[in-house]
Chains A and B, each alone.
Chain A
Amino acid sequence: NAGVTQTPKFRILKIGQSMTLQCAQDMNHNYMYWYRQDPGMGLKLIYYSVGAGITDKGEVPNGYNVSRSTTEDFPLRLELAAPSQTSVYFCASSYYSGGTNYGYTFGSGTRLTVV
């Protein structure tokens, strides 16, 4: 049981490049989330998914895209990277049932620098 696995751990992108941040969980969690964390700003929700095939925007979705073709995987795509996307990205998952969320689990984070 690996929990939430994020790859890569670090990446440097040039302005205008694209990349995909991978996130996988093996806990059969139905909810998955992508956050970014900027210094002094706390975590901000980018996108989330309540189940396979369903995704929704969070607070800061511009410049990102996601897909949820399986329960396990929730990749985050950055198109045309900009310096403002320099941040630490966290993927998380949880099991939601009966009006309650259980077992929030975070990945170890991806540190992305756009130069």
Chain B
Amino acid sequence: EDKVVQSPLSLVVHEGDTVTLNCSYEVTNFRSLLWYKQEKKAPTFLFMLTSSGIEKKSGRLSSILDKKELFSILNITATQTGDSAVYLCAVEVDEWGDDKIIFGKGTRLHILP
């Protein structure tokens, strides 16, 4: 059965700290890995990763994929209180020619001022 596992499930750090969120997966027919940030509304897209070893960066956020070891990390440097959210990892798979997305349970990140 395809699965996506995120760790830790929750994390509390102080403003200014750097955090690393983990996402491991076991799927057949991998297509891509996606990171989302979810606050009160719907998840907002952060990154899509398809190739191993190529870091994607957006401001203080960065992410990288390791397709050999089947995991991805999301780094946030110099955290701010506005980074408090649930971070979702999802893996896109090809199922019988169609596309399916499997989500992890998320990492709830809380930044203390």
A residues contacting B by CB (< 8 A) are 31, 33, 35, 40-45, 48, 50, 56, 58, 90, 92, 96, 99-101, 104-109
CA distance A54 to B38 in the complex (A): 29
CB of A107 within 8 A of CB of B42, answer yes
CB of B41 within 8 A of CB of A101, answer no
Number of B interface residues in the complex (CB < 8 A)? 22
B13-21, B61-69, B73-81, B100-108: which lies at the interface = B100-108
Neighbouring A residues of B100 by C-beta, 8 Å: 45, 48, 58
CB of A109 within 8 A of CB of B103, answer no
20 other A-B residue contacts (CB within 8 Å) besides A45-B102, A101-B32: A31-B99, A35-B103, A40-B105, A41-B105, A42-B104, A42-B106, A43-B88, A45-B100, A48-B98, A50-B98, A50-B99, A56-B98, A58-B100, A90-B43, A96-B99, A101-B31, A101-B99, A104-B45, A106-B42, A106-B43
Q: Separation in Å of the A40 CB from the closest CB of chain B? A: 6
| Closest residue on chain B to residue A58 by CB atoms | B100
Neighbouring A residues of B43 by C-beta, 8 Å: 43, 90, 106
CB of A101 within 8 A of CB of B42, answer no
Neighbouring A residues of B49 by C-beta, 8 Å: none
Neighbouring A residues of B98 by C-beta, 8 Å: 48, 50, 56
CA distance A7 to B112 in the complex (A): 34
Q: Does B109 contact A (CB under 8 A)?
A: no
